[in-house]
Structures are given as structure tokens and as C-alpha cells.
Structure 1
Amino acid sequence: MGELSTRRLRTDEYDAFFDVFAAAFLDDSLEAVRSTYGSAFRPELAHGAFDGDELIGCAGQLDQEITVPGPARCPLAAVTAVGVKPGHRRRGVLTSLMRAQLDALHDGGVPIAALYASESGIYGRFGYGLASFESHLAVPRGAAFLSTVEVDGRPVREVDREQALEVVRTRYPAIAETRTGWLSRSDGSWEARVLDGPNARGDLSAPRFAVHPDGYAIYRPKREWTTRGPAHELHVAELVAATPQAYAALWRYLLDVDLVAEVHWRKAAIDEPVLDMLVNPRAVDRRVLDGLWVRLVDLDRALMARRYAAPVDVVLDVTDRFCPWNEGRWRLRTDASGSATATRTEDAGHLALDVTDLAAAYLGGSTLAGLARAGRVVEHEPGALVAASRAFATDCAPHCQEGF
């Protein structure tokens, strides 16, 4: 074993980075998307861990923006492709990558980072908190809507990829700015979002595009023929609608496609409106899993980037063992408009919590009151917990309908 070191990667090291990523995830099929993701990925933002001259670990980053409560837009490091090659684990490689990455984000002024965790027990020790959840939905074909559901009568039509991209590239950004947890997209990430290849799609067909004047749906069929007849599945990759009526029209379209038994959406919101539109919601198979894990890189800048639901003046006594620049007591003041200031203070803390707990509540996915019931937030000033929990609350659950 050589000497371990960690550094930024060079622009010509993308292939080496991708080789380590594929090896770490034991996934040869990733080869099919190497060139596609290269258009969205900047190796010079990634970090590599080296054993001598051998690249053995990697941690990538996409520069994006995320919609935070307000709504407001905030710069985001979308952390991706984090892994260590087999045979090099349990040597502190991941810790060194996280150290280098968070230090670089702090120096670069990026207030928050987010990732999807391959294993949910990994990232808490680096200050990431579980900030959103997602539903895996399976809705039976033909599921009836309540009579009160208003369906936009304008037609939903199928279009080809090129026509669809003209629509979604203009429609998505305006809606994403209003939905907590939705990300900005570059041209490269659009290509990755609708990538198509036999290995990338698995047993699903090529993506299809259903377009409405106020929205669109991207989905992939999975063909299934049984002795009792066709039982195809439609797998929703993305559903975007500007109005409740357009949302209902797109769902009605998907639920009424011939030959289909079920419509699946693996990255729906936990408060997805379709659940409240159905006559028989029990017919939906629904499973809830963890979604985005968020890291408050610079606590004060992150807290001031979002808006709040109620005025509050509270002193947060925060522990942060991995990013000590966040540790200490912070006074969070919000006004009636939802704007906030966050400043260091010597005053006694009203609430004691770890940065992971603050991150879990940051997008509104968990409440401070709920975390207190789990013993993760401690109230030292009576009334402070309820006031702060209400201030952090949001009207809709945070949701990110894309992986990275």
C-alpha cells in the first residue's frame, strides 16, 4: 500500500474517475452512460483519493441550484458518484474525500450540498441530514377520479424526443422555481435526464413523451404479456404540470393507456396530489423511502437563503464535529415577510441540536418538533421549540424527482 492522498481531479481524468465509480458500485452497465454523463459532469470539480499513483476513491459534484422554501433559489453542490474501489475500504478514504470536498465548498462559498445515499447509515457522520422523502407509487390502470377533480380538457399528445425537448426545456425551469427540492438543469443534464440505451434502460422501453399545453410527462413502458392478456407497466420518469388541472389531465392520460395494468412512479412526492384525487386511494401500492440528504456547508448563509413561515427569534446551539466553522450558538431572526438573519451570539441557547437535525428540517421534510420527540432536539427555553418548528414548516413536502 502506498501513501494516501486526496486532490482535485484534472479534466483529463474523467475516464479514470468513471472506472473507479463503476468498480465501487459493482455495475458494468454504467459503461453505457459514460459519454452521456460526461456532458453534464465536470471532472475538475471532483475529488480523487490516491494510493500512490492509483486512483482508488472518487467524489463528484454537479454545480446546480435548488429551490428552497420561499420559494427561493440557492446554489447547490449536487454530490454524486461517491465510491471507493473494492480492496481499499476501511482505510479512511471516504472520510478524506468528504473532508476535501466540504472544505472546498466552504472555501468556494457554496452554502449547501445534497446527495442520494446508497446506504442510509453512511453520511450522517459527515453532517448530512435526511431532508426529504419520496414515494414509490403503483396506480392501477383506469383508477377513477373523484367527481370534484377538474381535468383540463385540452388534449395530451405524444410527441417525439426533439419536439418534447423544446417543450420541457422551457416549461420545466419556470415550474422548478416554485417547487421546493427541484433542481436547475444545464443542457448536459437534460441529455442525461432522457438518456436512452439498452443497458441504461434495463428492461424498460425507450422514453416516451406526453405533452400538454401546461405540462408534460416522460415515461417508459415495460411490456408484459400473460396468459390472461397484456399487463404492461408505465414507469414515470418525470411529471411536470403548471396547474392542478393539467396535472389531472396528464395522470388521466397515463391511467387510460391501453394494454397497461399499472402506472409506476418511483420518485413521487410523499404528498403527491394524485393520492387525494382517487375514489379508491387504497388501490395504490405506496412505499416511502428516504430522498435527499442535505448538508448545511455554511450554516448562516444556508439559513438566510430560505424563507420562513412565521416570525421567530431563537438561539440555536449547534454541534458540528465535521465542519467546526458551523459549531456554536447562532441567533436566527425571521420577520413577517419570511426573511431571516443568522448571526453568532454569546447568548444562551434556546434549542440544542446537531447540524444533521437542522439539515433534516431545512427543506421542511422533517419538523424540529418531531425531531425533538425522537430526542434529537433539546429545548432549553420554553416555547422555543414550537416557535422554531412552525417557522421552518412548509405547505408542501420537499421533493426531488430526479436522481444524480
Structure 2
Amino acid sequence: MADPTLTVHSLSHEDFERYYNVFAASFMEDRREHFREQVRDVFDPDRAHGVFDGDELIGVACMLSPEITLPGRIRHPLAAVTTVGVQPGHRRRGVLKILMRAQLDGLYESGSEPVAALYASEGGLYGRYGYGVGSHEMRLSLPHGAPFLRTVEIDQRPVREVERKRGLEFMQELYPSVAGQRIGWLSRDDGAWHIRVANDQANRDDKGALRYALHPDGYALYRPKTRWNERGPAYELHVQEVAGTTPQAYAALWRYLLDLSLVSEVTWDKAAVDEPVTNLLANPRLARRRMKDGLWVRLVDVDRALRARRYSAPLDTVLEITDDFCPWNAGRRRLRIGLDGVAEVSPTEDSAELALDVSDLAAAYLGDTTLAALARAGRITELGAGSLLPASRAFTTEHAPHCPEGF
């Protein structure tokens, strides 16, 4: 139950310093003042909310407005929820619930983005507001020199390292052609490139500066970490992003990274769970993998969200959807999908064939999991005999969703 004495308001540019201080305090971030200016550059007061106890600002949340690639290679607006925080000393008063209420009600009432997404600081926080794990990502580590299968075709044109300005120009030009093919990848304006991707201060720790390795059909962005042991150099190479417009270019970029001198280990903390490099290896055991949740997805307007993506098979079914936090989504929907993968969604009084919560629908929305897998876990109920597998097939995707950047 939210504390009835608390109020929520949209913010203004004049509120930024207080906004940032609440966010920083909530994460005990007192050593990263450079992050203040990064947040300022993307702070949109029209999409920011603050919870107040009297005149004191005690909770904050904001939304960015990129596009995301949905199944079917559809570019679609996304409400990217970011910088959510509650001032220490004000927990357990329903502040987060108030912020989520303000965001989701506002999105629905304005008819803006039908899908929201965020990265969760704690895995148990956002399911209560209808979010489901919509993608996973993998910490991938490969040893220096890991050999590829003999059948792997590598583009023989050279990979060259360049300075920042040229690297950014090349990446910005090539990125849309890759992002448009990858479910979960976001559009990037200049601010996104300089703050979320090519920011040379973010998460620097003791790693070196960003380095830009370019191939005519792709790029790799990485940081080296100097390390020596009694046997000599044992550098760590920390990949931030690899993108190639062809499999051959992608293989060439990974071959370059794996063969760099002085390096003992190549690591990527935000690789896709089906990252293609793992299928290039002659010995797949060389890849060390650790998976974690990535994007948490919320279907703000189920009807519009289901129409926005494309599907892998025709379908005609009725869904019984529960949504305790956004009651406008609750009820029965007939989902008709044609041979072209386009969906029609409409309310119906017909008998339901599948019963599921909106968070389960969100978990399957980008293709991260299947409806059949959720049903095996008892999260989806098959009410009509034989209705589960056709629906599950329709929601499957060509590859796992993946977002290579934080926000």
C-alpha cells in the first residue's frame, strides 16, 4: 500500500540536481560524478517523475524514447525506463509503486509507446508491476587464439584500428543496418552514442581507453586491461560491441580480437545468449558462459503491442489475460495471425484457449522464451486442447533477443 501522504509530479529542468542526487543516493554512487553530466544530457523533464514527501523529493524515474527492433525486423518506439531510485530512509512506503503507476498510466492515456522496458537492479522488483524478463544476456569469455572450425569462412580484408572520431563516424553509419536485423537492438541518436556506447569514462575501472577496430563490413569496440604474471603478459580484452553485416566480416572481427598480441582472455559482458562466435569454435568448451537477465519488458497496451510485432506462423486463438496493475489489459482477446505474420487483436466473449498473466506474455513477446516453456513451469494454462503448441510456434523468433547496451 502506497503512503497516501506522498504525491507524484512531472519535473522540470530546474529539478535536475535534486533528481540526480536522489538517484545517486539510492545506489550509493558517491564516486562517479562524471555520471551526473551523462544523465543531464539525456534528462527529459517531460518524461521524468518525482515522488514528494511534502517538499522533499524522495523518488525519481525517467523514460528515454529510442526505437527497438521487434520480431519481424520491425522498428518500433519503446519507452526505455531509466534512472529509477528511492531515497534511503524512504523505502517500504510504496514510492516505486507510485512511480510505476505514473509512468504506465501516462503512457496508456497518452497513447504513446505500447511497450516499455528496463534493466532491473534487483530481480524481484518489477514482476509485481507486470514486467517479465524479455531477454537474457551472457558473460562470454574466450581464450587467446581459440581456433575456429576449418569450414568457417573469414573475410580476408584487413581489420584496422582507428582513432575515435573516424571510428564513431564509421560505426554510426553502419549500425542501423545491423540493428534493424537484431531483435532488441535500439536506435541511437548522437547522445546515445556518446553517453551509452562510446563514453570513455563509463565503467573505466582500471581498463584502458576504448579502441576502435574497423572492417569494411563491421566493427569491434573494446578496452584492454593490462595484466602481467610470472609467465609474461596476460592482458584481458573487454569487448563492448561487435557488429558485422556479413557472417564473414563478423568472423574476421572475432579472429582479430582473439589473435591480438599480449592478450590471454577476451570477455564480453553483454553478449547474446546465442552469440554466433560460439558456433565458430572448433572446441566449443573453450567458451565460458554465464547467463543473466537482460531487458525486462512491460506490455503497456496489450492490443497495440501484439499488433506491433510479426509472428512465425498463422494462428487463431483466444487469450485470457490477467493484469492486476493495468486493468485495461485484462480480459479475453482473440489473436488472429495471417500468413504474412501480421496480427489482428480484438476483445471477445468466446471461450479462452490459453490463460496467462501479462508478465508471461511479456516474457515471450521478444522471443526470449516460448509459451510452451512457460506452460511447463505452470505459468500458462492450456484451456483448449491442442491450443498451446500452435500459439507457442507463432511467437518463436529467428534468434534470441539481445540488447548490447545499457540505459
TM-score (norm 1): 0.98
1:361-380 equivalence runs, <5 A:
361-380=364-383
1:228 is aligned, of 226, 231, 236, to: 231
Alignment identity in percent?
Answer: 60
1:196 is aligned, of 191, 195, 200, to: 200
1:22-41 equivalence runs, <5 A:
22-41=24-43
Q: 1:115-159 CA distances to partner (integer Å, 9 max, x unpaired)?
A: 111111110000000111111001000000000111111111001
How many angstroms apart in 1 are the aligned matches of 2:166 and 2:406?
24
Runs of 4+ with deviation above 6 angstroms? none
Aligned-partner SS, 1:30: coil
1:18-57 equivalence runs, <5 A:
18-57=20-59
TM-superposed deviation, 1:204: 1.2
AA paired with 2:204?
R
Partner of 1:113: 116
Partner of 1:151: 154
Preserved contact between residue 11 and residue 44 of structure 1 (Cα < 8 Å): no
2:251 is aligned, of 248, 251, 259, to: 248
Q: 1:219-239 CA distances to partner (integer Å, 9 max, x unpaired)?
A: 011111112211111111111
1:318 aligns to 2:318 (yes or no): no
Preserved contact between residue 131 and residue 292 of structure 1 (Cα < 8 Å): yes
Partner of 1:62: 64
How many angstroms apart in 1 are the aligned matches of 2:32 and 2:42?
15
2:340 is aligned, of 337, 350, 353, to: 337
Residues 118-127 or 7-16, more deviating? 7-16
1:9 is aligned, of 8, 11, 24, to: 11
TM-superposed deviation, 1:205: 1.1
AA paired with 2:342?
S
Specify whether residues 18 and 365 from structure 1 end up closer, same or farther in structure 2 by C-alpha distance, changes over 3 A only.
same
TM-score (norm 2): 0.97
How many angstroms apart in 1 are the aligned matches of 2:31 and 2:338?
51
How many angstroms apart in 2 are the aligned matches of 1:41 and 1:154?
42
TM-superposed deviation, 1:166: 0.7
1:267 aligns to 2:270 (yes or no): yes
1:217 aligns to 2:233 (yes or no): no
Aligned-partner SS, 1:39: helix
Q: Structure 2: 5+ residue runs without aligned partners?
A: none
Q: 1:314-350 CA distances to partner (integer Å, 9 max, x unpaired)?
A: 1000000000010000011000110011111111111
Aligned-partner SS, 1:211: strand
Aligned-partner SS, 1:341: strand
AA paired with 2:86?
V
RMSD, aligned CA: 1.2
1:123 aligns to 2:138 (yes or no): no
1:390 is aligned, of 386, 389, 393, to: 393
How many angstroms apart in 2 are the aligned matches of 1:395 and 1:29?
42
TM-superposed deviation, 1:51: 1.0
Aligned-partner SS, 1:288: strand
AA paired with 2:146?
A
Partner of 1:168: 171
Q: Structure 1: 5+ residue runs without aligned partners?
A: none
AA paired with 1:86?
P
Specify whether residues 164 and 363 from structure 1 end up closer, same or farther in structure 2 by C-alpha distance, changes over 3 A only.
same
2:356 is aligned, of 337, 353, 356, to: 353
Preserved contact between residue 217 and residue 239 of structure 1 (Cα < 8 Å): yes
2:190 is aligned, of 187, 191, 203, to: 187
How many angstroms apart in 2 are the aligned matches of 1:29 and 1:43?
25
How many angstroms apart in 2 are the aligned matches of 1:313 and 1:281?
41
Aligned-partner SS, 2:16: helix
1:61-80 equivalence runs, <5 A:
61-80=63-82
1:293 aligns to 2:296 (yes or no): yes
AA paired with 1:236?
V
How many angstroms apart in 1 are the aligned matches of 2:385 and 2:131?
28
TM-superposed deviation, 1:73: 1.1
How many angstroms apart in 2 are the aligned matches of 1:304 and 1:157?
43
